[in-house]
Each structure stands twice: as structure tokens, then as C-alpha cells.
Structure 1
């Protein structure tokens, strides 16, 4: 090939390469412009849920991605306005309107609309002034992303005031010469609403050991001074049905949920305890709503509880696991690997139920949960042994001794506290028991007997209370 031919060939090749680069560049620009013009995919609302309660009302929007929001309050009348970005109105979100019931304590109704492109507006018409907490939760367990609206009353009801309003607080009786708990005195009649149960002893009012004081100089009557002082007072017991609301707890193969069966048992136990003339009860939750772990402890302390009883249903990966258990707090670590695993599972309730991390006072919670004393644990062990012995009469025991682990809900520093695993909901046979009225009644009776025996051996000290 000649020199001129080589130059001509090189020119042709160079021109072809240049044309290809131009075509590729133009095609790439066109392709980029096409993708740039496509709108971003809107987030999808997958489920809407509403959890009304006297404590607060929670509204949950479950979605496939994290959502950005802004909100503000409008006065006269009270309204909460929430704008959600990156969202288009869909049929699932429209269902929220029908989810608001007339008995909701804080929401009259909700209006949902497309405020502008990619922005949905929710307007909550309120029944009273609220302190809203709007936050998001990352995916956990069976849940995807969640957008949460917690509507707390600006003026929450004091728990003691609530008990007074229900007639469940001012039931004190004047001190009289009464037989001690363990004596064979005449049995008081139970409340009409709770018929007497065969084999369940009634409890006369407990005699309380008063706080000691030095005798005054003018107390010259030696006989009077040497007479043991006795008085009676109401015993306050807090029952804590585990889980609730967004947190279903353990699930049975037959479809039952731990949060439901333990609430049923707690309500039965509450009625039986209230049939005693010297006991009153508060539930940490009386409906299907979520209560953070440290809030459960705080509720018990606010009413100056004498006992705290947390009620649960166990679960395990194998359906053959069965039996009832009783747990108390441990300062030195769990008494077994299974106890540690269970405590970690129960302590994860806040993650599943959903706590607003921004508003959660971690410092206060950590101080409260680190004040547990050896005395509290010792008293809890006594209570646990008494209850476990009674439960063993109606169901097989998973462990024959009270176990210990770091359960956050048992860390009230001044209240004997136990956690009862009533049975394994993951075991088909025991799941059937847990949903059976007869078994629930037997479990409530057994726990009450255990409480009675505990107080027979450990009379509570007198306290300065507003009763």
C-alpha cells in the first residue's frame, strides 16, 4: 500500500470513530433526559391503624419507605395538621377516615386530601388540647417503615385521681381489732360482681406493721405503751398485662396473640383481687394500646404500689416447649441462658411497640431502672416463690424454681415485682388453654392465692399515703 493510500485509510477510520462518538454522545444525552423527566415513585401506604386509649391515641401509617412530615396546631377549634411529602393519596390511606371511632377520647374525625402534588395533608379535628408527637420508626420485626402520631392530652389524668373517680381508691376502713391474715376468722363476703370461687379462700384485712417511733415522755401508761400497735390499710397491687397496641407479643399457631390473652387474665385477676376487702388494683393498660416499659414502672410508683405483677405468655421456636414460669429481677446476670434470652426479648418491646426516641427521657429512665435494691429483689423472690407454688397446682412448671434476669419492667426500686409466664402460647395445647375461660380463671385464682400467702408471711409496712 502506498503512502497516500495509508493516509486516506487513516482519515476514513478517524472520521468513522468521530461519527460513532457523536452518535453515542447524543444517544446518552437523550437517554439521560428521558430518565430525568420521569417523576420519582411515590411512597406506598401499606396499612393504617388507630389505637385509642385514655392515656393517648396513636395513629400509625405503615409504608414502604421513610416519610418526611411537617405539622402544626390550629386553635379554636383544636386541630392538628400534618403534611406528608412524597406521597399520593391512595385507597389504603383513605381508610383512615373510617378508623376513627366516636369513642376515641381525643380525635373527633380526620380529613385526608391531596394538598398539592406529592404532598398529602391530614387534618385531625380534636376533642381537646393535645401535645402531639410525630415521629418515624425504622423497620423491625414484621413491620416496614412506620409514621407515628401520638396524641397525648395536655392535662393528663393523675392515676390516683382516676382510681378515685372509679371508686377504687377511697376504700380504707378504720383500724379495728381484726384477725391476722393467716387466722381462721370469718370470711368476708366477696363483691357481688365476682361470685365466690370454690377452693379460693377470702382474705380478712391485712394487719400492717406500723413505722416505729420513740414513746413520748408523757406516755405513763405502761400497759398502753407496751400494747403492740396495729392498723389496717389498703394494699395497692399493679397488674401489668404485657405488650399491647403495635406490639402483639408472642403469636400462637392458632392465631391468638399474647397481648390479648394476658389482658384477659389480668382483668379476671383484677376482679378477684377487688373482691377482697383490703386490696385495690390498677392496670398499666386496660385496653389494646402500647405502654413503654419505663412508663409501666412509673405508673406503679405513682400509685405507691405494694406489688407489681407483670403477666405474659411464653414462646419458643419449638412447639414442644411448655409450662408456666415466674421471674424476678437479677442484679448479677440471668439464672439461665433461657432466662437471659427471654429478658432480652421482653426488653425489646419498646423497639416493636415504638418509642419516640427524640422525646424519650433516657436519662430519667436509666436512673429509675438502676435504683433496684437487694431488698426489693429479696421481697420479689418471696412473692415469686409463693405464686409459683400455686401456679404449679394448675399447670406444669417449666422450671421448678423462680428464675432471675434483667427484665426492665421489674426494676422499680421500692416495689416487689414479678413477671409471670402463664404458659407457652407457641405450644398448641397450651395456646388452647390460654384462650380458655376456665384456665384463665384458674390462673387468676392461683396468682391471688400466691399474693395472699405472701402477705400472710410478709405484712406490708405502714406508709404515708393520700388515701
Structure 2
């Protein structure tokens, strides 16, 4: 009997010893910082936490508020200050209930907004996070609206995607440089150069320091009816030795499987096929017809992307070292759209200390933007969309035949002799049989 009492006492002691730390740990969470990321389509509030959150949330109105209860939370006299601001969030306040160890956080809102709340595990420079995404109005896309009816002589639309953004810093250089802070100014410089070129128009997918979901980036390019999507990044490796720029295109194996996944999304047929989806819907041949159309579209997109990548690489090689001299194939998310030619440009290795410092300079960023612009312009001059201004401006050629004179050639092609002479840099009116003349449009 004595032995049984001893066993019972030992078991009780163990239970008390084990339960005490559990109670202590249960109330160990803490809000360490609060970050607000406004964007054209949503407002994101991120709570950096000491541990994985146990939470629930709900909305209130009159006035509009959003409430988050963080359970198993230690007493916190006040919340840390917020990094960033947004028109939607007028204030953030809190209270603590000791009886159930719950921190209640109230976000006062300027208007009613639906919210999506989720937690994220530690990754990159961040620990545990609780994220609140307030959905806003869809961004206006005036370029797409203006081109709803495509007109001859239209601008070539290039969607420029600055990688990462917001709470996603991308790669981090040896001196602490964030990739997101390098690619955005390069993207802006490239957009400015494109917009100064008659017949070309650039639209930034990300205009500020906020995150855009990877799938949403290609969706935005599609809404813009873009002729090309250019995603700009800075590479990184586990060692500091690699350096140089590279351009990536979609791998065929990934593209084929992506077509299959997109076919399963019936609601996107109309968007992908330019309205054909409504005609072929509910047909027994729908899947096979859609497969054929998407395969053709994908093949055209991949060929166009490879050509654009080759031109961009050639120009980049004039001003910086190349890590790879040929376009590389990968299954990167921003390259997977089957209906929009897409390339991803790695402007250099941020993990290389010398290249990191070079990428930080405005002069090098401008050179990179200029070289990418030259490559894109060369590509579209060589292969312009049929209804674009570039296509209308494309030069025709004529080989001089026996009996031709400069005035006869000019009359035959409905151009002036002066224009023909100037376009071919002729000092006089003499031409020879077999000579190729460039005919201005």
C-alpha cells in the first residue's frame, strides 16, 4: 500500500511539473510589430508574432470595425507602433482579458470592407505572422478599356512586373539590400523609356511597395491585353561567386501541364479564348477544341517569348556580364500564361557583393533599363503585331528590275522620289539592277 501511495504521489508531481510549463507557454504569444501594405486592389495588415497564433475574427458596423481575438496571449499593455498607413485603416487599438488570456485587437475602418484572415509560418526575414487582407475595389485598367475594340495602328502593350514587393522582400544581398527595392526602380525606368517611344505603351503591374499574388500578375497582364509580360528580378545563389544577367522563358513540359490545369477551369475559357468559350461551352467536343486552341496559343507565345528573350539578352550583353548567353527554360509562375508571351529577366546576382553594389546605383539601373528597352524595341520592330503602329511603319523592300528608274519605282509604290531617295540614303537618282530599295510606308 505504501508503494502505491508513493507511485500516486510521483505521478501527481510529474503532472504538476508538466502542466505548469504548458500553462506558461500557452500564454506566451506577443505582437512584436504591425505592418500595413496598401495596394490598388487591397489593404494588407500584417501582425508579426512571437508564436503561431490561435485566433478568431469578426466584423462590426456602425461604425465599421474589424476585430481579432488572439488567444493564449500574454498581457500586453499597448501595441507596437505601425509601419505604414492606409486610407482604410483609421486606427488600431487593443484590450486584454486576463481571465481567458485573450488580446482583442480592433481595427477602425473608414468604410466597410470584407476581410480574409490567415496565418503564415516563419519564412525569410519574418517569423510567425497573422495577415488580414481587406479587399478593395478592382484597379481601373484604362488601357484595356481603350483597347476593348482593337484599332489599326494601336500601341504595343508591355506589362512590366517588378518582382516581389510588400512583405515579400525577395532575395537579400550581403549588405542587406532587398531585391524588391532594386527591381521596382529599374521597372519604372524601363516603363518611362517605353512610354516615350511612339507605338509602345508600358503598364506597371506593381506601382509601389506591396505584394501582388503570382497568379494575379498574369491576370493583370491579360486584362491589359498585353502583347508581352516582362518580369524583372535579381538572382541569388548560396555562394557569392555567380554573377551576371539571364533571361528565362517557360519550359515546354511545364507549359503542357499548365494547359491541362487551365482547361479544367471552365470559367476561364471565355477569357483565355477571346470569347470563343461561350460558343463551344457544353459541347461534347469542348475539351478537345479548347485543347487545340490553347496549344496553338501556347506555341505562339513560347516562340514569341524566346525571340524577345534573345533580343534582350543581346542588348544586356553590351552593358553587363551574362550568366547565360541563351534563354533559359523554367516553370516559374509568371511565365505560365498560355496566351501572353512572357519573359523573366534576372538583372544580376544580388548575392554577389560587387554586383549587389552595382545594382544599387542609378547609373547601372538606367543602363539595364535602356538595354532591355532596346531589345524589346528590336523584337517588336522585327515581329510587330499585325494591327500595331509598328506593323504599319514596317519597311517594304523592292529589288530593282531591268527598265526601272527611281521615279518609276516611286510611282509604282505611291511614294515620292525624295522620300525614296532619303529612305535609302541615295545621293542621286542612279539605281542598278538587283539593288534592294527600302520602300517607306
What's the TM-score, normalizing by structure 1?
0.69
The 1-side partners of 2:28 and 2:92 are apart by 21
Question: CA deviation digits over 1:294-326, x for unaligned, max 9?
Answer: 110000001111111000001112211111111
Q: State whether residues 29 and 53 of structure 2, in contact with CA within 8 Å, keep that contact through their aligned partners in structure 1.
A: no
The 2-side partners of 1:304 and 1:171 are apart by 8
* Secondary structure of 1:332's aligned partner: helix
What residue number does 2:219 align with? 298
What residue number does 1:113 align with? 95
Change (3 A) 1:397 1:23: closer
The 1-side partners of 2:189 and 2:87 are apart by 25
Q: 1:303-342, aligned counterparts within 5 Å?
A: 303-332=224-253
* Secondary structure of 1:88's aligned partner: coil
The 2-side partners of 1:23 and 1:431 are apart by 67
Q: CA deviation at 1:54?
A: 2.2
Q: CA deviation at 1:127?
A: 2.0
What residue number does 2:280 align with? none
Change (3 A) 1:27 1:267: same
Change (3 A) 1:280 1:272: same
Residue 54 (str. 1) matches residue 40 (str. 2): yes
What residue number does 2:369 align with? 444
Change (3 A) 1:47 1:310: same
The 1-side partners of 2:146 and 2:265 are apart by 35
Change (3 A) 1:404 1:26: closer
What residue number does 2:76 align with? 90
The 2-side partners of 1:30 and 1:419 are apart by 62
Change (3 A) 1:28 1:263: same
Question: CA deviation digits over 1:49-93, x for unaligned, max 9?
Answer: 2222222121222334322222222223221111111113436x7
* Secondary structure of 1:439's aligned partner: helix
What residue number does 2:28 align with? 43
Residue 136 (str. 1) matches residue 119 (str. 2): yes
Residue 267 (str. 1) matches residue 184 (str. 2): no
Q: State whether residues 138 and 145 of structure 1, in contact with CA within 8 Å, keep that contact through their aligned partners in structure 2.
A: yes
Residue 398 (str. 1) matches residue 323 (str. 2): yes
Q: State whether residues 294 and 365 of structure 1, in contact with CA within 8 Å, keep that contact through their aligned partners in structure 2.
A: no
Q: CA deviation at 1:32?
A: 3.5
What residue number does 1:386 align with? 311
The 1-side partners of 2:357 and 2:123 are apart by 28
* Secondary structure of 2:378's aligned partner: helix
Q: CA deviation at 1:244?
A: 1.2
Count of aligned positions: 352
What residue number does 1:146 align with? 129
Q: CA deviation at 1:29?
A: 3.1
What's the TM-score, normalizing by structure 2?
0.73
Change (3 A) 1:272 1:105: farther
The 2-side partners of 1:73 and 1:262 are apart by 37
Q: CA deviation at 1:111?
A: 1.1
Structure 2: stretches of 5+ with no match in the other structure: 256-263, 273-290, 389-441
The 2-side partners of 1:390 and 1:67 are apart by 49
Aligned with residue 83 of structure 2, among 86, 89, 99 = 99
Aligned with residue 251 of structure 1, among 172, 175, 181 = 172
Bigger Cα displacement from structure 2, 106-115 vs 369-378:
369-378
Change (3 A) 1:387 1:77: same
Q: CA deviation at 1:171?
A: 11
The 2-side partners of 1:377 and 1:66 are apart by 43
The 1-side partners of 2:366 and 2:16 are apart by 70
What residue number does 2:397 align with? none
The 2-side partners of 1:59 and 1:321 are apart by 36
Bigger Cα displacement from structure 2, 405-414 vs 141-150:
141-150
Q: State whether residues 35 and 84 of structure 2, in contact with CA within 8 Å, keep that contact through their aligned partners in structure 1.
A: no
Aligned with residue 413 of structure 1, among 338, 343, 356 = 338
Q: State whether residues 55 and 70 of structure 2, in contact with CA within 8 Å, keep that contact through their aligned partners in structure 1.
A: yes
Change (3 A) 1:27 1:77: same
Q: State whether residues 171 and 234 of structure 1, in contact with CA within 8 Å, keep that contact through their aligned partners in structure 2.
A: no
* Secondary structure of 1:451's aligned partner: helix
Q: CA deviation at 1:386?
A: 0.9
The 1-side partners of 2:362 and 2:377 are apart by 23
Question: CA deviation digits over 1:235-282, x for unaligned, max 9?
Answer: 211100111122211111111111110011001111221222332222
The CA RMSD measured in Å over matched residues stands at: 3.0
